[in-house]
Amino acid sequence: MSFLFFFTLSFVLISAVLAVHARDLFVSTIWLSVFSLMMATNFFILDAADVAITEAAVGAGVSTVLFLSALALTGEKESGKRVYRLLPSAALFTLALVLIIVSLEHPRLGDPSAPVHQHIAPWYLSETPVLIDIPNVVTAVLASFRGYDTLGETLVVFTAGIGVLSVLGFRPKRKVVVTAAQVSRRTVRIRDHLILRVVGKLLIPVIMLFALVVQFHGEYSPGGGFSAGALFASAVMLYGILEGADRSIKAMPQLIMLRLAALGASIYIFVGIFGILLGSNFLDYSVFSSDPVAGQQLGILLIEFGVGLTVASVLVMVFNAFAGRDTY
Amino acid sequence: METEFLQSLPRLLAYASMVIGSAFIVIGGIGVLRMPEIFTRMHASSVTETTGSLFVLAGLMILSGFTLATVKLFAISLFLLFTSPVSTYALVNTALIAGQKPVVVKDSTGGVSA
Amino acid sequence: MDTFLGLYNYWIYVGLLVVGLYAVLLKGNYIKRMIGLGIFQAAVFLLFISMDKVDGGTGPIFSIAQDATTIFANPLPQVLILTAIVVSIAVTALGLSLAIRIKEEYGSIEESDTLRADRDE
């Protein structure tokens, strides 16, 4: 284990402790975003590049924006009343003790003879060039060998989008009446930052193009549907932050985003059913063309597109639901 | 002996550039901790994000030679050059509009300095 | 010393787990609890991804510059965690929307205030 890894691991723990400890929730959110970025660095040091891209885009990007928009609607200070409950504290202490004692039996970091490297991982690494023939083994395992899990996960994301819409779809009962003078005194409007708006709007197409590259290049380099969806959603969030939530909702209406999310999940399911219609099993892509390897690659391309579409539209829908809420 | 030195000259240049960049980053960090108020602190941190990162990335580019990685590093440095000063500007402008005033010191001839 | 360095990442994982659970169980503010939940989930990710590292290995991507003796990292934990990360953002989004609704109905997101309001009704 290198010194760099030691440093980043310790920094992760320190930033997590500070995120929980801070009384001002705004400071807490910024520490959480630093924590996510350090976790992404840790993942990269541990040779997991796909996971690093996804954690950086999701944790340090989308999650921070969602927390900040939720904070704008709730409150920023936490009341510092200390709660001392015996049973949860004892449970936490016991859990920590048990886990540390158990960890003394674990194989040390990077041990090639650890049980996790023995059975199915060498099979995946040796069979991917034969059966699927794409360079990125993680995408091959995600989309083809473990396609069921990815289908379930896409449906989970879609369900979360529906859940957010059903919770926040109702208008609040009490409307707070605020005068225009009160608003302009309390807020610093984004219109006052001219340079930020100009440069931000220059960056939005670059980010969207990068999201498309990550999506369709996911078979050859780290990437894939999940990180591409999060990157695309963060480009739309940038537009929403710079131009105001009403223009963002007009550019990407909620109903169309809902239909697109459903379309993404449906593409995945129909690709699976297409396998049945062509005479084989559900989610078997080898029958899509006369050459089974080409069929697998076509199937992976289609379902990654479906996953990216669903993730992007659900995250945009959630952001618009948060940002379009008009309470002060 | 001399050809060996000439062959390893790019590597020496790259290492020197990275060390200089790291020194600038440390200077920026010390500046953020020691400065009294927000405007001077952002001034110190802007050293980190421009000069420090540019030197480190230039060293990495020399180390990579003429490969695709160099083009990607160049694109990253361009991106950083675009976005870091803008974020500094956004923070400082918000502080100014929200009412923070820079600490000024009047000297004996009646002029002011920040 | 070698044992310490080889096991350090597991101890960091335990520390993060406890910090996240502490925020979920013992803090009264709902947004702070969501932050704690995110830290807890990230701790589990760290455990899984640290299981996939092999000494001298590289990322599990075949490239031109490889031969029969290159060692690859284990791809399977990465696949599991890739889906788990997006599930965690879905959970965060849903939890935050619930917190926003609670604020609008009860006027506060502290657990003591909401419990008191429920009791007094």
At C63 the three-state DSSP class reads coil
Hey, how many other C-beta atoms are within 10 angstroms of the C-beta on A309? 25
Phi, psi angles (nearest 5°) of residue B106: -90, 130
Q: pLDDT tens digit string along A45-95?
A: 888 888 999 999 999 889 999 999 898 888 767 776 666 778 888 999 999
Among A21, A6, A16, A268, residue whose Cα is nearest residue A147: A268
The closest CB to that of A192, out of B83, B86, B97, belongs to: B97
Hey, how many other C-beta atoms are within 10 angstroms of the C-beta on A236? 23
In the structure encoding, which two tokens stand for residue C27, read together? 């803090």
CB contact under 8 A, A196 and B86: yes
Among A154, A162, A211, residue whose Cα is nearest residue A317: A162
> What is the identity of the amino acid at C85?
I
CA-nearest residue of chain A to B78? A203
Identify the band that residue A169 occupies on the pLDDT scale cut at 50, 70 and 90: confident
The closest CB to that of B90, out of A193, A202, A206, belongs to: A193
pLDDT at B113: 61
The model's pTM: 0.90
ipTM of the modeled complex: 0.92
Chain B residues near residue A7 by CB distance under 8 angstroms: none
Average pLDDT over residues A104-127: 82
Whether the CB of B71 is below 8 Å from some CB of chain A: the reply is no
Q: pLDDT tens digit string along A279-297?
A: 888 888 888 888 888 888 8
C-alpha to C-alpha distance for A129 and B89, rounded to whole angstroms = 50
| Domain residue limits, chain B | 2-113
CB contact under 8 A, A168 and C97: yes
Phi, psi angles (nearest 5°) of residue A240: -65, -40
CB contact under 8 A, B90 and A202: no
C-alpha to C-alpha distance for A122 and A301, rounded to whole angstroms = 24
Cβ atoms of residues C17 and C40 within 8 Å: yes
Among C14, B56, B1, residue whose Cα is nearest residue A95: C14
In this structure, the dihedral spanned by the alpha carbons of residues A281, A283, A285 and A286, taken in order and rounded to 10 degrees, is -30
C-alpha to C-alpha distance for A92 and A98, rounded to whole angstroms = 10
pLDDT at A186: 52
Q: pLDDT tens digit string along A126-151?
A: 888 888 888 888 888 888 888 889 99
Cβ atoms of residues C89 and C7 within 8 Å: no
| Domain residue limits, chain A | 1-77, 137-328
Identify the band that residue A184 occupies on the pLDDT scale cut at 50, 70 and 90: low
Domains of chain C: 2-53+71-120 (1.10.287.3510)
Among C87, C38, C90, C45, residue whose Cα is nearest residue A20: C38
Among A35, A43, A29, A37, residue whose Cα is nearest residue A13: A35
The contacts of residue B66 (CB under 8 Å, 6+ apart) are none
CB contact under 8 A, C104 and A327: yes
